[in-house]
Amino acid sequence: MANSEYEYVKREFEFDRRLPASNWIVVRIDGCHFHRFSKIHAFEKPNDENALRLMNACATSMLEKFPDIVFAYGVSDEYSFVFREETEFYQRRESKILSLCVSYFTSLYGMKWKDFFPNKDLREPPYFDGRVVCYPNMKTIHDYLAWRQVDCHINNHYNTCFWMLVKSGKTEKEAQQTLKGTFSKDKNELLSQQFQVNYEDEPAMFRKGSSVYRDKVETKVKTDDYGNPIKRIRLAITVSNLDIIGPEFWEKHQYILQEGKYRYEYVKKFDDIHRLPCCNWIVVRISACQFDQFSLIHSFDKPNDETALSLMNASASLMMEQFPGIIFGYGFSNEYSFVFQKNTELYQRNERLILSSCSSCFTSFYMMKWKEYFPSKELVQPPKFEAEVLCYPKPKIVCDYLSWRQAECHNRNQYNTCFWMLVKSGEEENKANEILKGTLSKDKNELLFQRFQMNYNNEPAMFRKGSCTYRQKVKVSGDVVRDGWDVAVTHVDMGPDFWRKHMSIFDK
């Protein structure tokens, strides 16, 4: 990337947080507003088997995609993924690991929805938040998983009683009052005496949650000269609903984790919360992972696919509707930056929750809008986005950050325009790279004009300048005409003139 006066915003404000070495990494993903989501989609209470199997299918695909995940445990709308102690996944960069896992899980959830709910349309985009926690040894990992399974039992035991009472005619408030202060044995008695239900006969998936791991299985690999099968032990991803609190499971599967003897409650102290500094504008930058491959698979036009860029803009507009604290968005190619107002209290400025929910929500909007923009193209690979969070104390620095991204848009697009014109004219890709090596902006303009009779400045502004997304005042008709706000998408220079005209953006 060419140097520019704006690059100090990266050099001085972007921090590369890496998780400590020799620690096991756990990414815990949790559904956002899933009470409402489950109600809208009419999930069965207290447990919807199809919804749980959908979560398990997503977790299974996570293990297939990311070999460094050695174990996963899920219950309800939550899943925990354990990465091996020595993993160097994304060089242990916290924001990359967290945002990518949450985004990919969200993408899988949307793609697999119809497999489990063939007669239900997604009426609202699902999205998830998440957190990353580090544990120093296998014992604490074991205790962490025991803690989650105990939590599964407590919640499911209560919910089973609660919904039995509600379905029998009690109001939700009356059911809560009936269960207030009860112990496990009291709930078992209630189920047995009032409803003739033995809690232990409930499906294990409801009572114990789901464990996803690679199990040792005997597999036929070939036959010998006499037709006898030759078998080998292989690892295959499996989903089970077993007790992982006691020692039996871990003794049988010592290659995953070793048995721990400590109590599990103390694992919560490792769950450190990073709160972003107050009175700073928060910027969440989201960018697609392996987008060259994704765009190739889906036959995007080169160097720019206008429909794909419009899809990104539509997703950004929905982000501004979902998160009122976003005051500005800027995007180009496969990235989008969202600026939150300086006094936002979204998630109490919890960095991990902001980062994960934004990357997940953007992914979900991208998938929900896909058919609208590509009605003739099937989504054959789940898109996934990574994100990072930045903080800037002054509007000027935020403006300089956005100018830096726009300068990057210009540099990349000018290079890519030249590159793909050369390739389409018959040059090999290596040759095109060689031709452009060391060229300046004016050299590229000359190349386009002399070889292709193209004036770069006549290319669509969306390609050259990127897209700005912000709220602007509009007149709202009704009984009384009043001022309202609408999301606008423009393709303009974000120089001093733009900000003089739109400084009210930072005053909201």
Any idea what the CATH number is for the domain that residue 143 is in? Answer: 3.30.70.3000
Number of domains in the chain: 2
The answer to whether residue 428 sits within a structural domain is no
Q: Which two tokens stand for residue 188?
A: 């078992």
Order of strands across the sheet that contains 326-332: 385-392, 281-288, 335-340, 326-332, 467-476, 482-490
Mean pLDDT of the residues in the chain: 91
Claim to verify: residue 385 and residue 404 sit in the same structural domain:
yes
The answer to whether residue 298 sits within a structural domain is yes
Number of H helices, E strands in the chain: 17, 12
Burial of 130 (0-12, 13-18, 19+ CB in 10 A): buried
Claim to verify: residue 368 and residue 344 sit in the same structural domain:
yes
Claim to verify: residue 265 and residue 332 sit in the same structural domain:
no
Claim to verify: residue 201 and residue 291 sit in the same structural domain:
no
Asked if 327 and 505 touch (Cβ cutoff 8 Å), the reply is yes
Distance CA 373, CA 389 (A): 29
Q: Identify the pLDDT of residue 259.
A: 42
Q: Determine which of 166-180, 375-389, 450-464, 483-497 has the lowest per-residue pLDDT on average.
A: 483-497
- Please name the amino acid found at residue 362: F
Claim to verify: residue 85 and residue 121 sit in the same structural domain:
yes
- For residue 47, pLDDT over 90 is answered with yes
Domain with 125 in it:
8-210+257-270
The answer to whether residue 235 sits within a structural domain is no
What is the per-residue pLDDT across 173-195, written as a single tens digit (0 to 9) for each?
999 999 999 999 999 999 999 99
Q: Give the contacts of 436 (CB within 8 A, at least 6 positions apart).
A: 415, 418, 419, 422, 444, 447
Query: What pTM was estimated for this model as a whole?
Result: 0.85
Claim to verify: residue 38 and residue 151 sit in the same structural domain:
yes
- Other Cβ atoms closer than 10 A to 447: 19
What is the per-residue pLDDT across 102-147, written as a single tens digit (0 to 9) for each?
999 999 999 999 999 999 999 999 999 999 999 988 889 999 999 9
What is the per-residue pLDDT across 195-244, written as a single tens digit (0 to 9) for each?
999 999 999 999 999 999 999 887 776 777 777 777 777 889 999 999 99
- Please name the amino acid found at residue 337: S
Q: Identify the pLDDT of residue 262.
A: 46
Burial of 458 (0-12, 13-18, 19+ CB in 10 A): exposed
Phi, psi of 232 (to 5 degrees): -135, 155
What is the per-residue pLDDT across 416-466, written as a single tens digit (0 to 9) for each?
999 999 999 999 999 999 999 999 999 999 999 999 999 999 999 999 999
- For residue 284, pLDDT over 80 is answered with yes
- For residue 268, pLDDT over 80 is answered with no
Claim to verify: residue 262 and residue 361 sit in the same structural domain:
no
